[in-house]
Amino acid sequence: MEGTMHADAKIRAETGTESGPRGPGCSLRHFACEQNLLSRPDGSASFMQGVAEKSREQLIRNTCEAVVLGALHPRTSITVVLQVISDAGSLLACCLNAACMALVDAGVPMRALFCGVTCTLGADGTLVLDPTAKQEKEARAVLTFALDSVEQKLLMSTTKGLYSDAELQQCLAAAQAASQHVFRFYRESLQRRYSKS
């Protein structure tokens, strides 16, 4: 399913050989890029950087797989293409929200909506929801949760930093409360869309 329009180009990055991009002094991992891999959307690209196990794409994919009714579309691949226009903090949560809206717009059958909420813990234990990039950098721990719309159950969580068990529960509760606002916004924007027709 198309996220945004991309330019159409056919370039293939060179696949790494032994003496490839990881030469002496170069600290970048192996790149792989493929463009125009889907015929249906106006354009598409796939970019893989390194082989990190918990990459952002994998997290979003696992969340989507938990809510999409894939059994209704066997032997079909659903591709979500996300393009970052600007990163002002809480990027993963924003990506999750965008992915959910795109799936709803495409008419993919889902068993619930989902949203992403990021929260940070400061050095003194203060909890900040939906942090800016600066707040994320200065925080002691950054936690991102994906919650579903039916009972605010936890679909995915990814955390970075140092925090205690009680703090985790506190962040989760705050995120669940915040997700209500996100779902209300979803409902309002979808109602506005359907009121035009």
Partner 1 sequence: MAEVVAVAAESLAGSRARAARTVLNQVVLPGEELLLPEQEDAEGPGGGGERPLRLNAGARSRVRVVCGPGLRRCGDRLLVTKCGRLRHKEPGSGSGGGVYWVDSQQKRYVPVKGDHVIGIVTAKSGDIFKVDVGGSEPASLSYLAFEGATKRNRPNVQVGDLIYGQFVVANKDMEPEMVCIDSCGRANGMGVIGHDGLLFKVTLGLIRKLLAPDCEIIQEVGKLYPLEIVFGMNGRIWVKAKTIQQTLILANILEACEHMTTDQRKQIFSRLAES
Where do contacts with partner 1 occur on this chain (CB under 8 A)? 1, 69, 72-76, 104-107, 109-113, 148-150, 186-187, 190-191, 193-194, 196-197
Query: In angstroms, what is the minimal distance from the CB of 105 to partner 1?
Result: 8
Report which residue type is found at 133. Answer: A
Q: Give the pair of three-digit tokens for residue 66.
A: 């938990």
Hunting for tokens 């035009």 — which residue is that?
A: 196
Q: Is-contact 96 116, C-beta < 8 A?
A: yes
Phi, psi of 7 (to 5 degrees): -70, 155
Q: What are phi and psi of 49, to 5 degrees?
A: -125, 110
Nearer to partner 1, 86 or 191 (CB): 191
Q: How many CB atoms lie within 10 A of CB 82?
A: 16
| Contacting residues for 14 by C-beta, under 8 A, at least 6 apart | 20
| Nearer of residues 111 and 160 to partner 1, judged by Cβ | 111
Smallest distance, Å, CB 135 to partner 1? 31
Smallest gap from Cβ 116 to partner 1, in A, equals 16
Q: Which residues pair with 129 in a beta bridge?
A: 119
Min dist CB 7 to partner 1, Å, is 21
**Nearest distance in Å: CB 183, partner 1:** 8
Give the nearer residue to partner 1 in terms of CB position, either 41 or 89.
41
Q: Which is nearer to partner 1, 97 or 120 (CB)?
A: 97
Identity of the residue, 115 or 119, whose beta carbon is nearer to partner 1 in the bound complex = 115
